[in-house]
Structure 1
Amino acid sequence: MDETFVPSETVRTDGVCGRLFHGLGDGPHPGVLVLHGGGGARGYEGTYAAMLAEHGYTVCCVEYFGAPGTRDALVDVPLEEFRDAADWLLDRPDVAGDRVGVVGFSRGGEASLVVGARFDAFGAVVAYVPSCFRWQGPSWMAGVGPNQPTWTLDGDPLPYLRIEKHVATDEIDDPLGNVGPNPPRLALERASAAERDAAAIPVERIEGPVLLVSGGRDTLWPSAEMASRAAARLANRDHPWRVEHLENPDAGHAIRVPYRFDGTTDPTATHEFGGTNAANARAATRAWQRTLSTLARL
């Protein structure tokens, strides 16, 4: 499916930066935000959003760093930007309902849980290979120091887990964790209970269904463990809406757009972020079907 077949437009207005995909068919349509990960907007989010639009959703891919009109790096991002994007979407005459869904990938999955737990505008949360904790800004980015927050609220940084505090440089053979210890995993294991408690996302405050998607062979961070922690927290605190943790033991971090294999991709090859291409493709297809089911509960 080519996303160009779905009507879309660039958005640079009212503090909202991104791309809007218009739902196909008679509207108004439910609204959904799609949040990219720590690599910035790479294009697959647009394809994913276009597929949602084909299924009758009006979708805004929010660009919150690394794009024109936004900051250069994933640091000091006000959560209010996501709230404002949701409110902007809800104010549109072609969007139905009083709450939107949010789908995020990786750091965007972290963000989807954070904003879902913070703002009433969000009614269903889908988090692909997410974290159940807030993490520091990625210090490997140009201009980012080792101790800067990713998210702020009302101008104040939200507590976060630090990697450099717990992981020495000489312990890391590969910053992505493909060889040697995985830095976020080490940091998570070595953080104190008080540090983990302070950085934990209060997912039980989400007022709607939650879908967590993880890969057991994720080499960027332990998404399966962190998604399990989020699911357990929701269960232990009697979250009244449907919660699902879709575990994919053989998949890695690149669980993204479904149905995208082509003749040039070796299904048996291992992806740089873990899991084989075939396992990641199967996981993406399973997650897509569960996502549609979750968003249908908006």
Structure 2
Amino acid sequence: MAIEITEHELAEPWESFLVEPASGSSNGVLVLSGSSGRVERERCRLFAREGMIAASIRWFGGRGQSPGICEIPLETFVAATGLLRDRGARRVSVLGVSKGAEAALHLSVLSDCADAVIALAPTSVTWANVGPGSDGLDRPYRSCWTWQGQPLPFVPYDDTWTPTEPEGAPVSVLGWYERSLATYADRLAAAAIPVEKAAGDLVLVAGGADRMWPALSFARELADRRAAAGRPVRLVTRQDAGHRTLFPGEVAPPASVHFDHGGTAEAGAALGAAAWPHVLRAVRGADV
């Protein structure tokens, strides 16, 4: 039997979308986009049809917000989990993709607001800003995130890198990230996201054909550190999948004209199908 859902479009304190089963739920999930900055309405509906309260917010690029991913207060996401708890969720998970996964992983360490984190195409380190901050400047590089008013240590980008694709073709920035990791190797330890300290559950989903950054290597590093610390972790991978993961019922977005995400829609859907049961278990509080 289909679950009846109720939707809410909110404007304060940020543009946001909340959807819930008409009968309510004790499980909630905050869904964070990547560098698109969009509000993830369809993915929220996917979770609501599984019996969960789901919300997504615009966390940059909106009214009164930084125009880019630059020194974003992680407290923004702590407050956003309050949308779910206010609707009755006792267990709250945070699902993020790419830059949203970076934020979600930090939340798992710095706050007790999330009982589980699901990180799609994650990074294992904090990166420099993507786009300008509130001052309109994108240089010199600054951290993507702050906590309690302080910027988190980060890895800058090596601006000597240049793309190799023909002019007008979608660009893979994988090489940029790989070169930056090598150039600023002395900053990796400070910028590492210490997921081994997080008490909640962790699900990592990554494709080996990701052309945006080395998500599979990052995910394996995170999983290894979790396992060494005796913390729960589930790693779901597929070698031919790219940066985008599609869960069952989701429709592949159009291919980007700007970036090469890697993989295929079919491989992304296969990765999502393999990950989906583990995602649901994490959100519901079963073993991951």
TM-score (norm 1): 0.83
Matched, 1:190 2:183: yes
Aligned counterpart for 1:121 among listed residues 108, 113, 138: 113
Distance in 2 between the 1:184 and 1:136 partners? Answer: 11
Match of residue 147 from structure 1: 141
Equivalent residue runs for 1:83-102 within 5 Å: 83-90=78-85, 92=86, 94-97=87-90, 99-102=91-94
Q: Is the 8 A contact 2:207 2:241 kept in 1?
A: yes
Matched, 1:48 2:43: yes
Aligned counterpart for 1:248 among listed residues 238, 241, 246: 238
Match of residue 21 from structure 1: 19
After superposition, the C-alpha distances for 1:27-76 in whole angstroms (9 at most, x for unaligned) are 243121111101211x6x21111110111111110210123443211111
Q: How many residues are treated as equivalent by the alignment?
A: 276
Change in CA separation of 1:20 and 1:69 when aligned onto 2, cut-off 3 Å: farther
Q: Is the 8 A contact 2:29 2:54 kept in 1?
A: yes
Aligned counterpart for 2:55 among listed residues 53, 60, 81: 60
Q: Is the 8 A contact 1:118 1:205 kept in 2?
A: no
Aligned counterpart for 1:283 among listed residues 271, 277, 281: 271
Please state how far the C-alpha of 1:150 moved relative to its aligned partner.
Answer: 0.6
- The answer to which of 135-144 and 75-84 deviates more is 135-144
Aligned counterpart for 2:74 among listed residues 73, 79, 92: 79
Q: Is the 8 A contact 2:53 2:89 kept in 1?
A: no
Distance in 2 between the 1:204 and 1:180 partners? Answer: 28
Please state how far the C-alpha of 1:276 moved relative to its aligned partner.
Answer: 1.7
Distance in 2 between the 1:207 and 1:187 partners? Answer: 30
Change in CA separation of 1:180 and 1:25 when aligned onto 2, cut-off 3 Å: closer
Match of residue 38 from structure 1: 35
Match of residue 248 from structure 2: 258
Matched, 1:211 2:210: no
- Amino acid aligned to 1:123: D
Please state how far the C-alpha of 1:140 moved relative to its aligned partner.
Answer: 8.4
- Amino acid aligned to 2:82: D
Q: Over the residues paired in the alignment, what is the CA RMSD in angstroms?
A: 2.7
- The answer to which of 271-280 and 116-125 deviates more is 271-280
- Amino acid aligned to 2:272: A
Distance in 1 between the 2:88 and 2:266 partners? Answer: 36
Please state how far the C-alpha of 1:16 moved relative to its aligned partner.
Answer: 4.6
SS in 2 for 1:259: coil
Distance in 2 between the 1:88 and 1:49 partners? Answer: 13
After superposition, the C-alpha distances for 1:84-111 in whole angstroms (9 at most, x for unaligned) are 1123432x1x3231x4100001100111
**Can you give the 5+ residue segments of structure 2 that lack an aligned partner in the other structure?**
none
Match of residue 158 from structure 1: 152
Among all aligned residue pairs of Structure 1 and Structure 2, give the percentage whose two residues are the same amino acid.
28
